[in-house]
Amino acid sequence: MQFSWKKIFFWRKGRRRNHEIAPDEVLLDSSNLPNFDTTQFEGRLGKPISLVALYVTGGAFILGLLLFLFKASQLQIVNGEEYFGRSENNILRPIPVFAGRGVLFDRNGIILAWNAPGTDSPMVSKLDPVATSSIVFAEDIITRREYATSSGMAHVLGYVKYPSKDSNGFYYQEDFEGVDGVEDYFDDELRGVNGSRLVEVDARGKVLSHNIVRSPLQGKNLTLSVDSKIQSSLYNNIKDIAQRVGFTGGAGVIMDVHTGEIIALTSYPEYDPQVMSDKTNSPAIRAMLNDSRLPFLDRAVDGLYAPGSIVKPYMALAALNEKVVEPSTVITPSGSISIPNPYDKTKSTIFRDWKAHGPVDIRKALSVSSDVYFYIVGGGYKDMKGLGVARIDRYLSMFGFGKEIPESFVNGKAGVIPTPQWKKETFDEDWYVGDTYNTSIGQYGFLVTPVQIARAVAAVANGGTLLVPSIIKTNTPQVESTIDIPASYFQVVREGMRMGATEGTGVALNVSYVKIATKSGTAELGVAKDHVNSWITGFWPYENPRYAFAVLLEKGSVHNLIGAAAAMRQELDWMNVNTPEYFKE
């Protein structure tokens, strides 16, 4: 059989040939599909989309585009600058650059409060306390306020509150805030002005760069008037006597009688300014806050105490100036005076002296602290007309009692000079001559602060100039008033106070290295009178007064034979060895 390629070719070609398919072979209709369901759109012919639908759809797209373009123009053209600023702020974070707080020095240049670098700074051990005040750190570091460890400085220095952040890391308090003491009173001068730094961060908060946009201005350094060595010694001596004898607290003030500079101002007990600033030792803070001895009370400035006999020098000046007595007038009390009861002549009230002193003139009365003498010159007795409460109030006010000290770091409490009006308002009772007697010796409702006593005795020492005490070292005194009493009368009172040291109640201060003029006082407390406040006040040197002092020991037993005079004697002895320059005339 002969093979034919042609047959094979045509056979394959024939197999691939297609014929035309009729419509009824592929389209379904009701005639060729059983169970045809028109409700399911079976067999329905498709129709073209209408022009209305196209127009509506196209219009919606165009409207959306127009709205998009309008909003974009609002964001980028109308409000573009505002939103640009917002976007910049999202990546540029302002960080405060804390100003160095002013450094505090004592009058001899000893540093009392300074700024130390933050504990996470690598420069902690490389910087001195003064230089640190003006340093700007590259990181967000708050310097630590540090205080000298000298005791007795807490109420003068005070403490600070640090800048504070919220939970998001932003500062809601960007300044150090002074609390108490010099830190509070001179806060505006000490705090300086913070600078600002812009830090660029990415979306994850990573710092990319930073730039100082405003440099900080350091706070002002201050040189205080206090001698920190003397202040610390005075505190320790007050503490020593208080603890040994059983007083609950105490205070001491030493003041320049010509400039008003405060050389020492201390209160026992005291708090720890470092602990209060750091706020890291919660048990110690709670202990101080709950201490019944009130370590946060500045007894020297805000403590109010019955003065007792230390008001007698001012009573003497009033009596001399009003001619109630002359310097040579002698009164011979028998140890007490008896005042008839105005409502029952068969009864009388007896006012006793602490001791029968025999005949005394005004100098002797001051030196031995005769109560009866000052009862008589204050309230009168028999034929002698006394000052009376109105003049007592006027003269004591002239020496600064019963009012706050104006424009001073130690303005403190006003205190009380008892008067008929005060008694009526306080007790709704009438005033009697016995009230005048008790006021004349610093009892009844009489209340003073130690710093009031110090500046009053300074006015006696300098001849009648009532100074505003200064905690800042200065040679320019601030005078509140000049007391119009003859210089000769001031000299009589100074002589009586000198006799107090040489032969009277202040003989404990009769030291060999400096001549002291002094007046002691013991104020009885409460109805039972089983506790007392012990006072010693005075000035030195006697011939050429330079420094006044007042020391208080608070609430000790009435049976104590040791009190404020012992604390001041220890202080004078310490100064004679360690700071003898204060005794040079």
In this prediction, residue 353 carries a pLDDT of 82
Q: Which tokens is 390 given?
A: 């109105």
Give the number of residues written for the chain. Answer: 585
CATH code: domain 91-223 is 3.90.1310.10
pLDDT string in tens for the chain (585-residue length):
455 544 444 444 444 555 566 655 555 555 545 555 555 555 555 567 777 777 778 888 888 888 888 777 776 776 766 666 555 555 666 677 777 889 999 999 999 999 887 544 333 333 445 444 433 333 456 788 899 988 899 999 999 887 766 555 555 555 678 889 999 999 989 988 877 777 666 655 566 666 666 777 888 999 999 999 999 999 999 999 999 999 999 999 999 999 999 999 999 999 999 999 888 888 999 999 999 999 999 999 999 999 999 999 999 999 999 999 999 999 887 788 888 877 777 778 888 888 888 899 999 999 999 999 999 999 998 888 999 999 999 999 999 999 999 889 999 999 999 999 999 999 999 998 989 999 999 998 899 999 999 999 999 999 999 999 999 998 899 999 999 999 999 999 999 999 999 999 999 999 999 999 999 999 888 777 788 899 999 999 999 999 999 999 999 888 888 999 999 999 999 999 999 999 987
Name the pTM for this structure.
0.79
CA gyration radius, the chain: 45
Beta carbons within 10 angstroms of residue 16's beta carbon: 6
User: Is 261:474 a contact under the CB 8 Å cutoff?
Assistant: yes
- Cα 543 to Cα 498: distance, rounded to the nearest angstrom: 10
CATH code: domain 228-583 is 3.40.710.10
Task: Return the residue matching tokens 């007792």.
Answer: 308
- Cα 465 to Cα 12: distance, rounded to the nearest angstrom: 141
User: Is 238:575 a contact under the CB 8 Å cutoff?
Assistant: no
User: Is 295:276 a contact under the CB 8 Å cutoff?
Assistant: no
In this prediction, residue 11 carries a pLDDT of 44
In this prediction, residue 18 carries a pLDDT of 56
User: Is 426:416 a contact under the CB 8 Å cutoff?
Assistant: no
- Cα 156 to Cα 150: distance, rounded to the nearest angstrom: 12
CA distances from 331 to 301, 371, 520 (A): 37, 12, 21
* Alpha helices for 399-486 (secondary structure H): 420-427, 433-440, 450-462
Q: Which of 566, 513, 503 is nearest to 540 (CA)?
A: 513
User: Is 371:354 a contact under the CB 8 Å cutoff?
Assistant: yes
How buried is residue 96: exposed, middle or buried, by Cβ count under 10 Å (0-12/13-18/19+)?
A: middle
User: Is 463:317 a contact under the CB 8 Å cutoff?
Assistant: no
For residue 122, the 8-state DSSP code is: T
Domain with CATH 3.90.1310.10 in the chain: 91-223
Domain with CATH 3.40.710.10 in the chain: 228-583
- Cα 35 to Cα 40: distance, rounded to the nearest angstrom: 12
* Alpha helices for 74-214 (secondary structure H): 80-91, 154-157, 181-185, 187-191
For residue 44, the 8-state DSSP code is: P
In this prediction, residue 68 carries a pLDDT of 81
